[in-house]
Amino acid sequence: MSLENVQNWFASHASDVQIIIASQSTATVQEAAAALGVEPARIAKTLAIRVKDEVFLLVTRGDARLDNARTKAAFGGRPRMLDPEETLRLTGHAVGGVCPFGLVHDLPIYCDRSLQAFETVFPAAGSLNSAVELTPARLAELTNAQWVDCARLPEEML
List the single range of 6-10, 98-102, 154-158 with lowest mean pLDDT: 154-158
Is residue 1 scored above 70 in pLDDT?
Answer: no
CA proximity to 106, closest of 54, 152, 158: 54
- In-domain check, residue 158: no
Separation between Cα atoms, residue 84 and residue 72, nearest integer Å = 22
- Mean pLDDT over residues 140-144, rounded? 98
CATH code, domain with 138:
3.90.960.10
Q: Are 131 and 40 in contact (CB under 8 A)?
A: no
- In-domain check, residue 31: yes
Residue 37 burial by Cβ neighbours in a 10 Å radius (0-12, 13-18, 19+) = exposed
Q: Percentage of the chain surpassing pLDDT 70?
A: 98
Domain count of the chain? 1
- In-domain check, residue 7: yes
Domain of 47?
Answer: 2-153
Band of residue 154 on the pLDDT scale cut at 50, 70, 90: confident
pTM for this one?
A: 0.95
Is residue 76 scored above 90 in pLDDT?
Answer: yes
- In-domain check, residue 22: yes
Band of residue 88 on the pLDDT scale cut at 50, 70, 90: very high
Q: How high is the pLDDT of residue 129? A: 97
Q: How high is the pLDDT of residue 158? A: 62
Tens of pLDDT, residues 29-70: 999 999 999 999 999 999 999 999 999 999 999 999 999 899
Q: Are 39 and 120 in contact (CB under 8 A)?
A: no
Q: How high is the pLDDT of residue 155? A: 83
- In-domain check, residue 140: yes
